[in-house]
Amino acid sequence: MTLLDPILATTRQRLRRLPPEAELMRRCQDLPPARDFEAGLAAPGLRVIAEVKRRSPSRGVLAAGLDPVARARQYADGGAAAISVLTEPDHFDGSNDDLIAVRAAVDAPVLRKDFTLDVRQVWEARLIGADAVLLIVAALSLDQLVELHATAISAGLAALVEVHDEDEVTLALTAGARIVGVNNRDLTTFAVDLCVSERLAPTLAGVPVSVAESGILAPEDARRMRAAGFDAVLVGESLVRSGDPASAVRAFSS
């Protein structure tokens, strides 16, 4: 069993409650364009995707009483290029309402951090105001990855395609990923090793935007990822626990 298995099981249960794809598409027809997630990450310097989350399966409760809007505004004040919002309810204590509220409160693009298995989730993400969705290669077949990536583009969203090893990088590139995130966390042991990003960085040389994820706990970790060639870092735990999130974001991007 991996970290993903119980999360994917509850995600599949929630899929039963989603409306048909055609209905979600119809409800998205008159929405304004999404914000440009890719452009925000491709700007000069190391960019920070600052994450809003209360809990994680690997680390337990991080900030039970977190106010997502207040925290997102602090991240934006610190210059975050994008805000990541956990919407998964069963294992991360997130909700769609968190994302809706954050999207209305900040100008930065917003990533819906959830476990996307079905095209309806992509359209749902568009409907609640997300500018990008997360696609985890380890959770998908190649056919699913290709379909979900194409659906995201059709919906006007960016896709952060997450990989853990060389084989998954190949699948991400085959699907046409323009934004690839390397997760430094082993999904079986929960161990985190920044060497994973350093090892995979050369394989992402042709990708427009590369993101290092997990284990970015201090500014020196971010600088290490920048030295390896990454355009951005996704930072969660240390920012959620920080007493001065705006200054922390600035430190990670300096």
Q: Which pLDDT tens digit goes with each residue over 61-103? A: 777 789 999 999 999 999 999 999 999 999 999 999 999 999 9
- Residues 160, 168: Cα–Cα separation, whole Å: 13
Mean pLDDT computed over 203-213? 97
Among 162, 168, 198, 237, the active-site one is 162
Instruction: Walk me through the domains of the chain, giving residue ranges and CATH numbers.
Output: 4-16+35-253 (3.20.20.70)
Among 96, 214, 238, 253, the active-site one is 214
Among 53, 88, 237, 242, the active-site one is 53
Q: Is the pLDDT of residue 230 over 80?
A: yes
Q: Under a CB-based contact definition with an 8 Å cutoff, are residues 20 and 27 in contact?
A: no
What does each C-alpha distance from 212 to 32, 40, 169, 235 come to in angstroms?
Answer: 30, 15, 13, 9
Mean pLDDT computed over 234-252? 95
What pLDDT sits at residue 235?
Answer: 97
Q: Is 168 a catalytic residue?
A: no
What pLDDT sits at residue 254?
Answer: 81
Question: Which distant-in-sequence residues (6+ apart) come within 8 Å of 85 by Cβ?
Answer: 51, 52, 53, 68, 72, 94, 98, 99, 102, 110, 111, 112, 113
What pLDDT sits at residue 116?
Answer: 98
Average pLDDT of the residues of the chain: 95
Decide: helix, strand or coil at residue 104.
helix
Q: Is 154 a catalytic residue?
A: no
What pLDDT sits at residue 58?
Answer: 75
Among 38, 51, 88, 198, the active-site one is 51
What does each C-alpha distance from 239 to 72, 147, 172, 250, 251 come to in angstroms?
Answer: 10, 33, 28, 11, 11
Mean pLDDT computed over 114-141? 98
Give the pLDDT band (50/70/90) at residue 161: very high
What pTM was estimated for this model as a whole? 0.96
Stronger pLDDT, 187 or 60, i.e. the higher one: 187
Q: Is the pLDDT of residue 203 over 80?
A: yes
Among 56, 96, 183, 197, the active-site one is 183
Which of 73, 78, 24 lies closest to 47 in space, CA to CA?
78
What pLDDT sits at residue 59?
Answer: 77
Q: Is 253 a catalytic residue?
A: no
Among 84, 113, 168, 253, the active-site one is 113
Q: Is 56 a catalytic residue?
A: no
What pLDDT sits at residue 187?
Answer: 84
Q: Is 214 a catalytic residue?
A: yes
Q: Is 242 a catalytic residue?
A: no
Among 56, 213, 237, 242, the active-site one is 213
- Residues 75, 118: Cα–Cα separation, whole Å: 30
Mean pLDDT computed over 210-236? 97
Q: Is the pLDDT of residue 162 over 90?
A: yes
Mean pLDDT computed over 223-238? 96
* CA 225 to mean position of chain CA atoms: 17
What pLDDT sits at residue 1?
Answer: 67
Q: Is 237 a catalytic residue?
A: no
- Residues 199, 203: Cα–Cα separation, whole Å: 8
Decide: helix, strand or coil at residue 236.
coil
Number of Cβ within 10 Å of residue 68's Cβ equals 23
